[in-house]
Amino acid sequence: MSQTVPNLLPFVELPILFKPLALDQQPLDIQQKIAQINEVLPQTQCGLCDHPDGCLPYAAAIVINGEPHNKCVPGGQPVTDTIGQIVQTNNPPLIAAKSNWETDAITGRPQEMRAIIREADCIGCTKCIPACPVDAIIGTGKHMHTIFTELCTGCELCIAPCPVDCIDLVPISRQISADIRQIEQHDLQSRYYHHLNRVADSLTDSRHAKPVVSMMEAKINNVAAQSLDISEADAKSTIAAAKLRTKIKKLEKQLSVRPNAQKQSELTALQAELAALV
Ligand code: SF4
Ligand code: SF4
Ligand code: SF4
């Protein structure tokens, strides 16, 4: 009878960001173990396990590189123990990595938090939007932003990019069944993969070329360049074009507020430079 990889992880259909992991080329039993561990991880995609690209790379590192299985901070001791059963090491049980938040007496996991924006202080700079792995923030340039609390995982990734420090974390209290937790995790995973696919699409859509603004966009850009097997010179041009687009966008913004002859000629020169590159 043929074996199948459990769960939702057909490793052939992952976002391009995960291509370097080459999970679909791993032996089936390894793939199964990675999928099993990923199924247990909270899918917060917070990077606190030292894997900024999220839960799946951490699951892969546990199985392939033998990385310690106690590094998922939001998962706490319950997740560490469950992964311990999956990897079946002979070592003594590991203590889960410590969270900044108190342990919830009922779940045994760290206190759950949610982000909220102090809307009166928000300057609408949009910097928090690309930082959110589950697309829980809405808003447009120069307008107040807000967070869909029910979608927020409290991953804290939007806090550092905010230039005016107007995002706070607040504790939430809830008890959910294991089934509901699983459904939530699947939903978060699919929101994250959708987010990654959307970022990749926006970067490769030549009709709507946009500057690379976030770390995630830069990484996806690099992976895309590598997977297209373009030459080093082409890769350098891609990066140079991205930089030019960023400068052009900045100048266009400035000029839309106040005309300036010198900036206008700078913009024309940059546009010509970009046209010569692409
Ligand atoms: S939820 Fe856990 S496994 Fe996922 S990125 Fe955060 S720390 Fe890593
Ligand atoms: S709104 Fe902030 S804390 Fe909430 S999921 Fe998005 S990035 Fe994380
Ligand atoms: S980063 Fe801060 S100021 Fe900028 S849009 Fe987001 S919440 Fe508002």
Residue 15 counted as domain residue: yes
Work out the angle between the directed axes of helices 215-227 and 178-204 (0-180°, nearest 10): 70
Report which bound ligand comes closest to the CA of 160.
3
Provide the domain limits for residue 45.
Answer: 11-87
Q: How far away, in angstroms, is 99 Cα from ligand 2 center?
A: 17
Work out the angle between the directed axes of helices 232-257 and 261-277 (0-180°, nearest 10): 160
Residue 55 counted as domain residue: yes
Question: Whole-number mean pLDDT of the chain?
Answer: 85
C-alpha gyration radius of the chain: 21
How high is the pLDDT of residue 6?
44
Q: How far away, in angstroms, is 4 Cα from ligand 1 center?
A: 25
Report which bound ligand comes closest to the CA of 116.
2
How high is the pLDDT of residue 5?
41
Residue 216 counted as domain residue: no
How high is the pLDDT of residue 1?
39
Residue 46 counted as domain residue: yes
Residue 220 counted as domain residue: no
* Of 210 and 172, more confident: 172
* Atom 4 of ligand 3, nearest CA residue: 125
- Predicted TM-score (pTM) of the model is 0.76
Taking residues 222-227, what's their average pLDDT?
Answer: 70
Lowest mean pLDDT among 9-18, 38-47, 97-106, 191-200: 9-18
**How far lies 73's CA from each of 30, 98, 121, 172, 244, in Å?**
24, 6, 30, 17, 39
pLDDT tops 90 at residue 252: no
| Number of folded domains that form the chain | 1
Q: Find the distance separating the first CA and the last CA of the chain, reported in whole Å.
A: 51
Taking residues 212-240, what's their average pLDDT?
Answer: 65
Residue 187 counted as domain residue: no
How high is the pLDDT of residue 7?
47
Residue 80 counted as domain residue: yes
